Amino acid sequence: MDELVTETGAPRPHAAALMEFIHSLERDELLDRQQVAELDILTMGITFTVYSDGANIDRAWPFDIIPRVISGREWSQIERGLVQRLTALNRFIDDLYNDQQVIADGVFPADLLDDSVNFREQCRGVHPKHGVWAHISGSDLVRDDDGQMYVLEDNLRVPSGVSYVLENRAVTKRAFAEIFARQSIRPVDAYTDELNKLLTSLAPDGVANPQIVVLTPGVFNSAYFEHSFLAQRMGAELVEGADLAVGDDDCVYMRTIAGLERVHVIYRRIDDLFLDPEVFDPESMIGVPGLMRAWKAGNVGIANAPGAGVADDKVVYAWVPDFIRYYLGEEPIIPNVPTYRCMYDHERAFVIDNIADLVLKPANESGGYGILIGSRATDAQLAEAVEAIEADPRNWVAQPILSLSTVPTLIDHEIEPRHVDLRPFILTGERSYVTAGGLTRVALPKGSLVVNSSQGGGSKDTWIIDLHPASGA
């Protein structure tokens, strides 16, 4: 199905004003606006980094001018569903690192935990502030043919893309200035301020005006633009591991031209395993020796908390509805995509029998890597996949092939439907915050379902439109 138009080609109510506006423009003018937007992206230096032939290339962010529109009423429901989901996930993580009641109660199998590559024994017994581990998360949503939104996966480690939500909006505002005045489109700009408040709340007790830093792996990281963007918007320092040091007092300091200065909160954008060579990978060049000591002593707040990734796992995903029931006593507001877990014999047998009709996913890869779409695979690829499943069943889950919804997209001077997903960002602390919409990623090749920008995907602005803003919901 299409997000903006019905099967008969009529615009959906929340997209009516947009479609009318687009159709009122001469095609040349629409193309012209697309070009202006692309020029803006170049001038503003909105980029992402791709690895190609061993080199890092800074590429202009791919953007399609036609936004994706969601009604405010539907969105409010999704917001509640995301807050519910992240609340339950955080309860689960906190439980795993402390009492493990969820295992004792037989809700989550103990052997899954033993196999987890993202469980960090070093984090046992830690009580982060607010009981929250995954402060910043991005859950990928897709809409199937039946019109239902599903959660496809939860990114709880270092999800990226939120900077493009804000920049896409800035670009769209200029490209479609007229239409913003005519409609009630929910603003997205508050995100960085909300993030700043959240990070501030993670400071050690008694620190009123904490020094917040964004810890980046460095300029060659694919998300460096975002790291820089967030630091800039929050007035935080952007640091690399070498800029930080942990003193004998187990406090974290940064190296400034005036000497060492105390750091209170770290928004880390590097993976757990590289955080602290004393505790994790001793070869890590981008981490900070002693960081875990400082964190455990309560001398620095770290977001997301080390170990939070334990729940960012395509196998654990299958249990999230159970966690929502177990911890909150509620039914999930947004459903999971039905997920078959290859670790269980009967589910594995089903997967192997029906492999050509399923999407096969490795449990711990991100960025869309390692995914096999059964209906598009060759027999040899399918046989190879079966072998991989049997060799390491826990590492594989399978889901029915969803038909992702589409949004009209400018392709070579024509408007054509292209498949999209949506990544909203959720902040969880003392309270929760969800971006108004999120990052809509679009698969540009005809029929493609791969939306990742590292694999040729594009992006769109996402509008949450309240048709009746006076209703005061």
Partner 1 sequence: MALLSRVAERLYWGARYVERAEDTARIIRSYGDLIIDLPSDVPLRWEPLVELTGSEPLRGDGRGEREVMEFLIADTSNPSSIGTTVARARENLRTTREVLPREAWYALNALHQYVSSEAERAVGRRTRDRFLGRVIDDSRRLDGVLESTMTRANPYRMWRLGRLIERADMTTRVVGLRAASILQMRAEGYTQTQVQDPVTGQIQAISEATTFSEGDEPVRDDQDEVQWMSALRSVSALQMYQRATHGPIEGPSVVRFLLYYSAFPRSVQGCLDEIRAVLAQLPDPDTVVVALDKAEAVLASCDPGADDGVVLDAAMETVQAALADLGRAVDVRYLSLGG
Q: Which of residues 217-236 bind partner 1 (CB under 8 A)?
A: 219, 228-229, 231-232, 235-236
Contact present, 367 and 155 (Cβ < 8 Å) = no
* 196 cis-preceded (ω within 30 degrees of 0): no
Q: Which two tokens stand for residue 172?
A: 């769209």
For the chain, state the CA radius of gyration: 23
Q: Which two tokens stand for residue 328?
A: 């909150």
* Strand pairing category for 396-400 and 340-341: antiparallel
Binder to partner 1 among 44, 104, 297, 356 (CB under 8 A)? 44
Q: Which stretch binds partner 1 (CB under 8 A): 250-258, 322-330, 341-349, 418-426?
A: 250-258
Q: Which stretch binds partner 1 (CB under 8 A): 73-81, 254-262, 317-325, 392-400?
A: 254-262
Is the Cα torsion angle 200, 204, 205, 209 positive or negative in sign?
A: negative
Q: Could you say whether residue 281 binds partner 1 (CB under 8 A)?
A: no
Binder to partner 1 among 90, 201, 211, 409 (CB under 8 A)? 211
Q: Could you say whether residue 461 binds partner 1 (CB under 8 A)?
A: no
| Count of residues that bind partner 1 according to CB under 8 A | 26
Q: Which stretch binds partner 1 (CB under 8 A): 36-44, 118-126, 159-167, 196-204?
A: 36-44
DSSP calls for 187-233: P-TTHHHHHHHHHHTTSPTT-SS--EEEE-S-TTSTTHHHHHHHHHH
CB of 457 to partner 1, least distance (A): 23
Q: Where are the alpha helices (DSSP H) in 64-156?
A: 72-97, 101-104, 110-115
DSSP-derived secondary structure letter, 403: -
Q: Could you say whether residue 63 binds partner 1 (CB under 8 A)?
A: no
Q: Could you say whether residue 42 binds partner 1 (CB under 8 A)?
A: yes
Packing angle, helices 345-353 and 379-391, rounded to 10: 170
Binder to partner 1 among 10, 177, 242, 297 (CB under 8 A)? 242
Q: Could you say whether residue 56 binds partner 1 (CB under 8 A)?
A: no
Give 219 or 285: the residue with its C-beta nearer to partner 1. Answer: 219
Give 114 or 248: the residue with its C-beta nearer to partner 1. Answer: 248
Binder to partner 1 among 95, 140, 153, 240 (CB under 8 A)? 240
CA pair distance 211, 377, nearest whole angstrom: 51
Residues that bind partner 1 (CB under 8 A): 42-45, 211, 214, 219, 228-229, 231-232, 235-240, 242-243, 254-259, 261
